[in-house]
Amino acid sequence: MDTDVAAITTVFTEFYYFITVALMFLIHVGFCMYEVGASRRRNHMHTLMKNSMLIPLVTVTWFFFGWWIYWAFPGGPGITGPLGHPDPSFAAAYTPWGESMGPRLDDRISGVFWAAFLLFAWTAASIVSGAVIERIRSFAFWIFAILIGSVTWSIDAAWGWHFSGWMVQLLGYHDAYASGVIHAIAGGCALGILVVLGPRLGKFAADGTPRDILPHNPWLVCIGLFLIYTGFWGFYVACNVPLATTGFIDGQITGATQTATTIYMTPTTLSAITMNFLMSLAGGMMVGYMVSKGDAFWTYSGGLAGIITASAGNDLYHPIQALFIGGIGTYLMYKLHYWVEAKFKIDDAVGAVAVHGYAGFIGVVIAGFVLWGHPSSPYDGFAAINPVGQFIGAIIMFWVLGFIPAWIIAKILASADLLRIPREVELLGLDFHDNREAEAARQDVLADVRSVSATG
């Protein structure tokens, strides 16, 4: 920071990412409210702890290897470059013992950037959490949380959400606000687990007809979704580089104009993404309300699905395009949710596979058509955005890095009887023991108080 301008730019960027982290924390508060609201009273505390303990577990694993994977894997390795491509010094700096992993005065950005990516990792894991409530073992879920939070999402980000990612270079993959790299992979991961885990007891009638297991507290669910919207602002802003010079971008762009960029270093503006976020939210809510006939849960989830569908291209869409893309994604994910539930007997307790997985997949594919031919990168030799590259990218996100690893791990855990809680515990309720202890303690206090009262 040897000039005033450099100092202001650095401190602004540092503070910018810091604010995004605090905002993104609200995503997690929202997920906890939403999941607990959707669960039955007998499972509340287990549901809460299952979700909230992913925070420390993904955090420590993100420090130990998740962040390193992001910087080590952009070339595949072995597709467009070796481990650490294009600059092995980055990967070396982000090992847990690396030079950029502790406080130092000549690097004020690495820590907040690490944290912003970590909050994305929590989000990916938390998306999965809601789908599997009320019957998964905590041990199993936390393994999946680490799998998606610190391994598979980090690989997909290195491949498709990095300025030198091989998917960007070869496929022209474009996913500016993570339709695929967070949402499709999380939806695919949840589906891979659900296929093996099976439905909650009572979810399907003997003839296979699905039953609704209603949220015990619709208010909590909806306010939770509102908080996720709020945190989503931080998520969007964190996906940008706030202020970059052409020298910093170091690509083909000429001139002295500074700009905000996407993670690919392609120019955009905070105004663009703010308008498009709101218009895609509006499209999703309006269609969610229509298609669900005014159901509050699906209307709010529709808003989320609208944003998620448009996110791949919300750096570039016109707001009216974002409105319609959000609406299309919401309609399709809603229909797919009920079709998959009835056809394959999948019990996705909160619609996470639909809202995140299907909407994310659809959003990545739509971006390939609407942004066809737009340069995916400021660097020479990168493919332009195109429908085939986006479709392959969506397959990689949902199936290759989402569904398949989760399905394999779920099979292994199920074979060791470590995936699903015992049937009797499910019948009693996961909080049964704690509730009994709490009731005994309450009765003990009550008896004592009555005794004191009787003796004057």
Partner 1 sequence: MSTTPIDTWAVDLANVTVIYPWVGSEVAMASVGIIAWLAWHVWQVKHENSTYDENLRKYGGKETINSAIDDHQ
Residues of this chain that interact with partner 1 (CB under 8 A) are 246, 251-257, 259, 266-268, 272, 286, 289-290, 293-294, 316-318, 320-321, 323-324, 327, 370-375, 377-378, 380, 384
In the complex, the smallest distance separating the C-beta of residue 349 from partner 1, rounded to whole angstroms, is 27
Residue 261, strand partner residues: 241, 267
Q: Which is nearer to partner 1, 253 or 396 (CB)?
A: 253
In the complex, the smallest distance separating the C-beta of residue 172 from partner 1, rounded to whole angstroms, is 11
Q: Which is nearer to partner 1, 208 or 255 (CB)?
A: 255
In the complex, the smallest distance separating the C-beta of residue 339 from partner 1, rounded to whole angstroms, is 22
In the complex, the smallest distance separating the C-beta of residue 268 from partner 1, rounded to whole angstroms, is 7
Dihedral sign for Cα atoms in the order 8, 11, 13, 15: negative
Q: CA 30 → CA 41, 52, 146, 200, 425, distances in Å? A: 18, 11, 20, 23, 27
In the complex, the smallest distance separating the C-beta of residue 169 from partner 1, rounded to whole angstroms, is 14
Q: Which is nearer to partner 1, 155 or 287 (CB)?
A: 287
Dihedral sign for Cα atoms in the order 347, 149, 313, 303: positive
Residues 293, 413: Cα–Cα separation, whole Å: 40
Q: Which is nearer to partner 1, 16 or 289 (CB)?
A: 289
In the complex, the smallest distance separating the C-beta of residue 256 from partner 1, rounded to whole angstroms, is 8
Helix (H) or strand (E) holding 244: strand 241-244
In the complex, the smallest distance separating the C-beta of residue 403 from partner 1, rounded to whole angstroms, is 31
Q: Which is nearer to partner 1, 103 or 255 (CB)?
A: 255
In the complex, the smallest distance separating the C-beta of residue 87 from partner 1, rounded to whole angstroms, is 21
In three-state form (DSSP H/G/I as H, E/B as E, the rest C), the secondary structure along 306-339 is HHHHHHHHCCCCCHHHHHHHHHHHHHHHHHHHHH
Residues 147, 189: Cα–Cα separation, whole Å: 9
Q: Are 121 and 58 in contact (CB under 8 A)?
A: yes
Q: Token pair for residue 438? A: 């709490």
Dihedral sign for Cα atoms in the order 401, 356, 335, 280: negative
Q: Which is nearer to partner 1, 294 or 456 (CB)?
A: 294
In the complex, the smallest distance separating the C-beta of residue 231 from partner 1, rounded to whole angstroms, is 26
Residues 150, 152: Cα–Cα separation, whole Å: 7
In three-state form (DSSP H/G/I as H, E/B as E, the rest C), the secondary structure along 379-391 is CCCCCECCHHHHH
Residues 423, 285: Cα–Cα separation, whole Å: 38
Q: Which is nearer to partner 1, 126 or 261 (CB)?
A: 261
Residue 268, strand partner residues: 260
Q: Which is nearer to partner 1, 252 or 443 (CB)?
A: 252
Q: Which is nearer to partner 1, 198 or 387 (CB)?
A: 387
